[in-house]
């Protein structure tokens, strides 16, 4: 597979998720841990909390949410990714509703999720649209709900992809409570698994953010 610098197009991701060797391994523990803590407060008699994984890829975070107990949707750019999500959900014996869709065209719609999770999407969007994507996450989160984000500030061979400090800055107002925020200062090994010509994605610098919508 040829590795492209900068932002990678939909066709690249279609091929990526089509190849069973390609992937990013198991989900990190931080976001599922927060989602599990929130679930305890969100669940009510006769009410199952709702979650969505935006830019779901192969569904690793969507499946983790379903395993916690959330009624889970997954939005994925590629058809091959949707196939991977459904297969993984079946393997793990959980229910995930997976749909193909481009969040860059859906961000301005309104949804009502208790938890919005997204890992690895922002860095794949043109920087000119980063603020729109974050606003889209907000638009899909109900009052009292949570946004859980994982993103790459920089990826080896692709350069700096997200402005440091931009994402937390967009949650510093009275409508949002910033629960957790961390941005790395050094590159560390990536969980990416695929064959490349030059080892791109072998190292990344990541950020994590968890916020609650107050109003």
Name all domains of the chain by residue range, CATH numbers in brackets: 12-213 (3.40.50.150)
41-49, long-range: CB within 8 Å, 24+ apart, which pairs?
42/114, 42/115, 43/69, 49/114, 49/115
Integer angstrom CA distances of residue 180 from 55, 70, 212:
21, 21, 10
pLDDT digits (tens, 9 = 90+) for 89-139: 999 999 999 999 999 999 999 999 999 999 999 999 999 999 999 999 999
pTM: 0.95
Q: Across residues 189-208, what is the average pLDDT? A: 76
Question: Is pLDDT larger for residue 190 or for residue 182?
Answer: 182
| 12 half-sphere exposure, CB direction, 13 A CA radius | 12
Q: How far apart are CA 107 and CA 92, in angstroms?
A: 29
* φ/ψ (deg, to 5) at 4: -100, 140
Indicate the pLDDT class of residue 190, thresholds 50, 70 and 90. confident
User: How many C-beta atoms lie closer than 10 Å to residue 145's C-beta?
Assistant: 22
Question: Is pLDDT larger for residue 175 or for residue 4?
Answer: 175
User: How many C-beta atoms lie closer than 10 Å to residue 157's C-beta?
Assistant: 14
pLDDT digits (tens, 9 = 90+) for 53-68: 999 999 999 999 999 9
């Amino acid at each position: 597979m040829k590795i492209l610098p900068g932002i990678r197009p939909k066709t690249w991701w279609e091929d990526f998720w089509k190849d069973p060797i390609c992937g990013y391994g198991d989900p990190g523990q931080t976001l599922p841990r927060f989602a599990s803590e929130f679930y305890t407060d969100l669940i009510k008699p006769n009410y199952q909390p709702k979650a969505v994984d935006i830019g779901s890829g192969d569904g690793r975070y969507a499946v983790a949410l379903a395993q916690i107990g959330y009624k889970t949707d997954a939005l994925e750019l590629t058809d091959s990714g949707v196939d991977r999500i459904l297969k993984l959900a079946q393997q793990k014996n959980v229910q995930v509703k997976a749909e193909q869709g481009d969040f860059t065209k859906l961000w301005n719609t309104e949804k009502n999720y208790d938890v919005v999770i997204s890992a690895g999407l922002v860095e794949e969007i043109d920087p000119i649209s980063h603020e729109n994507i974050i606003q889209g996450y907000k638009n899909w989160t109900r009052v009292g709900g949570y946004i859980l984000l994982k993103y790459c500030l920089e990826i080896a061979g692709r350069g700096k992809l997200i402005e440091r400090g931009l994402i937390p800055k967009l949650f510093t107002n009275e409508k949002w409570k910033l629960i957790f925020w961390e941005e790395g200062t050094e590159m560390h090994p990536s969980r990416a698994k695929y064959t490349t010509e030059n080892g791109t994605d072998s190292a990344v610098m990541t950020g994590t953010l968890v916020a609650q919508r107050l109003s």
